[in-house]
């Protein structure tokens, strides 16, 4: 194993502020390198026969100096680093050889073997930098890893690092003993301070840091995140939801949550089903409240995981109010609600300049909720209705809409298991909807769209099986 084929690089974070760096080349590749150098406040000089658009703009704005079209050894006189980013391999080699002779570190773009330093893939959070390098052996793998790490780390870590930087001396003065200081610092990221920063409350975070440092608040506080899991496709889980699942001690999840999404939870998290599904046994809401409270009070990180979005027919509002009333630290992580996901995956644009200027999210869960609706306004033209929990009530929905003036041929789409591998889409005119759904054995979870845009699914569908169409009337207004 020669050193040349498998270098073991020494990582280095360079402070380039006010230090000169030379870039040879003025094209797109050079521009990428220059952008990072300017962000690090380096003094950039460029040697290139021609400057591309971006590099030219920086030169015109006085952000870098163009010091000639032909590379000469003198160009290296004042520089700390050089990057050879021209598309001329011979020139790049010459730059490298000259740099070596002067002991100036040189990166030759896309040529790890020739380079004396390499530029890693970077994850940045405020002053934090995580650099990934494969020493040029597997740059694509390094970039992939960078993507995964990006997904794991909350944006608020940057604010935490900045805060700790400002408090460093005070913390050291207060906790002179190293191991105590380390324990204290370690507790911050996952404790109240880190959480408050993640909740966008820097002043409270700083106050909590001060309190913790003065020993006022030693007990770990639990918290509850009300997290939307989206409609089923794990790819539709937000990064934040994924992070919360990875930090969770306890996950209280609803029946609609896909197992593939539960699999994102930390491996030793406690997974507790609180399944609620029409007609099936479920944990009653007060029992769910009690569970959240019990685990949060024991200092645990609780994720209350709900299908779709917690605030759309998910009783998230009630749960948040309950937690706030009991002084529990909480947050809400929105999810992609079924109406948005089913519309997208079925090819039903919810709004459309020609067909729908508004969208209404409606529940048609049971007789009571149906009777409470303002059917006259629901029957109006120019809007899209998205009915949640409507599979069992299709007759009632149809009859009321017709009775309030909706046209019998109004297009309807039912999306069953939206965004999942077994998604089905049915298109029917309003008048024929319940019979058609029954003949296809439609079951929950399914979402009903009513409005002209529903007919567009016949052309715009792209996911899973093509829609089943009841009659020509169902898609007439798509034309």
User: Which residues contact ligand SAH (rule: CB under 6 A)?
Assistant: 231-232, 256, 306-309, 312-314, 337-338, 342, 388-389, 415, 417-420, 444-447
**CB 256 → ligand SAH: shortest distance, Å?**
5
The arrangement of strands across the sheet holding 468-469 comes to 358-363, 383-388, 446-450, 411-416, 424-429, 468-469
Rounded to 5 degrees, φ, ψ at 474 are: -60, -30
User: What tokens appear for 112 in the block?
Assistant: 């790890």
From 233, 249, 254, 309, active-site residue = 254
Q: Which is nearer to ligand SAH, 33 or 306 (CB)?
A: 306
| 276 included as an active-site residue | yes
Q: Which is nearer to ligand SAH, 98 or 417 (CB)?
A: 417
| 96 included as an active-site residue | no
> Shortest CA distance to 331 belongs to which of 354, 361, 310, 308?
310
Please identify the residue of the shown chain whose CB is closest to the bound ligand SAH: 308
Q: Which is nearer to ligand SAH, 86 or 419 (CB)?
A: 419
Report CA dihedral (129, 134, 140, 141) to the nearest 10 degrees.
Answer: -90
> Shortest CA distance to 448 belongs to which of 415, 407, 409, 401?
415
**CB 366 → ligand SAH: shortest distance, Å?**
12
Q: Which is nearer to ligand SAH, 120 or 445 (CB)?
A: 445
Chain-centre distance for alpha carbon 17: 32
Q: Which is nearer to ligand SAH, 25 or 464 (CB)?
A: 464
**CB 342 → ligand SAH: shortest distance, Å?**
5
Q: Which is nearer to ligand SAH, 167 or 345 (CB)?
A: 345
From 33, 240, 276, 306, active-site residue = 276
- Please state, in angstroms and rounded to a whole number, the distance separating the CA atoms of residues 379 and 384: 10
Q: Which is nearer to ligand SAH, 247 or 309 (CB)?
A: 309
- E-strand ranges in 52-175 read 64-66, 81-84, 105-108, 121-125, 128-132
- The structure tokens 């109406």 sit at 339
- Do residues 33 and 119 make contact, with C-beta atoms less than 8 angstroms apart? yes
**CB 448 → ligand SAH: shortest distance, Å?**
8
User: What tokens appear for 214 in the block?
Assistant: 């003065």
DSSP-derived 3-state class of residue 342: helix
In sequence order, the β-bridge partners of residue 12 are none
In sequence order, the β-bridge partners of residue 426 are 414, 468
- Please state, in angstroms and rounded to a whole number, the distance separating the CA atoms of residues 426 and 468: 5
* Beta carbons within 10 angstroms of residue 407's beta carbon: 15
Q: Which is nearer to ligand SAH, 295 or 424 (CB)?
A: 424
**CB 377 → ligand SAH: shortest distance, Å?**
21
Q: Which is nearer to ligand SAH, 16 or 245 (CB)?
A: 245
Residues in the chain: 479
**CB 365 → ligand SAH: shortest distance, Å?**
8
**CB 335 → ligand SAH: shortest distance, Å?**
7
Between CA 248 and CA 255, with CA 249 as vertex, the angle to 5 degrees is 70
**CB 243 → ligand SAH: shortest distance, Å?**
20
**CB 238 → ligand SAH: shortest distance, Å?**
13
Q: How many CA atoms lie within 13 A of 336 on its CB side?
A: 18
Distances (CA, A) of 34 to 54, 77, 127: 10, 19, 19
Distances (CA, A) of 334 to 56, 241, 316, 395: 43, 8, 10, 32
Q: Please identify every residue annotated as catalytic.
A: 254, 276
């Amino acid at each position: 194993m020669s050193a040349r084929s498998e270098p073991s690089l020494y990582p280095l974070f360079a402070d380039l502020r006010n230090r000169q760096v030379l870039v040879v080349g003025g094209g797109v590749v050079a521009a990428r390198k220059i952008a990072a150098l300017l962000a690090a406040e380096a003094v950039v000089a460029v040697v290139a026969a021609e400057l591309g658009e971006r590099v030219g703009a920086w030169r015109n704005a006085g952000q870098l100096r163009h010091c000639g079209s032909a590379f000469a050894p003198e160009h290296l006189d004042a520089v700390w680093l050089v990057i050879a980013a021209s598309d001329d391999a011979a020139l790049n080699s010459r730059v490298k050889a000259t740099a070596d002779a002067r002991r100036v570190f040189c990166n030759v773009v896309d040529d790890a073997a020739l380079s004396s330093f390499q530029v890693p893939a970077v994850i940045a959070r405020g002053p934090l930098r995580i650099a990934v390098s494969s020493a040029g052996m597997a740059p694509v793998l390094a970039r992939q890893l960078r993507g995964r790490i990006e997904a794991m780390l909350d944006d608020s870590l940057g604010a935490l690092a900045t805060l700790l930087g400002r408090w460093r001396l005070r913390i050291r003065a207060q906790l002179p003993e190293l191991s105590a200081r380390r324990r204290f610092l370690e507790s911050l990221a996952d404790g109240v301070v880190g959480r408050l920063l993640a909740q966008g409350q820097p002043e409270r975070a700083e106050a909590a840091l001060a309190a913790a440092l003065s020993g006022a608040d030693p007990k770990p506080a639990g918290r509850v995140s009300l997290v939307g899991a989206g409609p089923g496709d794990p790819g539709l889980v937000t990064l934040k939801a994924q992070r919360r699942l990875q930090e969770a001690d306890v996950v209280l999840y609803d029946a609609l949550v896909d197992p593939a999404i539960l699999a994102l939870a930390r491996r030793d998290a406690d997974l507790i089903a609180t399944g609620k599904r029409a007609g099936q046994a479920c944990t009653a809401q007060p029992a769910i409240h009690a569970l959240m409270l019990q685990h949060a009070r024991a200092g645990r990180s609780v994720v209350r995981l709900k299908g779709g979005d917690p605030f759309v027919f998910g009783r998230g509002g009630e749960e948040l109010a309950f937690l706030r009333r009991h002084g529990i630290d909480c947050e809400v992580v929105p999810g992609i609600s079924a109406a948005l996901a089913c519309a997208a995956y079925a090819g039903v644009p919810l709004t459309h300049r020609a067909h729908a200027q508004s969208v209404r999210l409606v529940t048609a869960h049971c007789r009571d909720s149906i009777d409470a609706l303002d059917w006259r306004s629901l029957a109006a033209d120019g809007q899209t209705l998205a009915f949640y929990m409507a599979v069992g009530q299709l007759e009632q929905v149809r009859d009321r809409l017709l009775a309030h003036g909706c046209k019998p041929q109004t297009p309807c789409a039912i999306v069953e298991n939206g965004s999942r591998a077994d998604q089905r889409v049915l298109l029917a005119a309003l008048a024929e909807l319940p019979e058609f759904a029954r003949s296809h054995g439609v079951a929950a979870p399914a979402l009903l769209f009513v409005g002209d845009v529903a007919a567009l699914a016949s052309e715009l569908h792209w996911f899973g099986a093509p829609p089943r169409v009841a009659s020509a009337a169902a898609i007439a207004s798509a034309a």
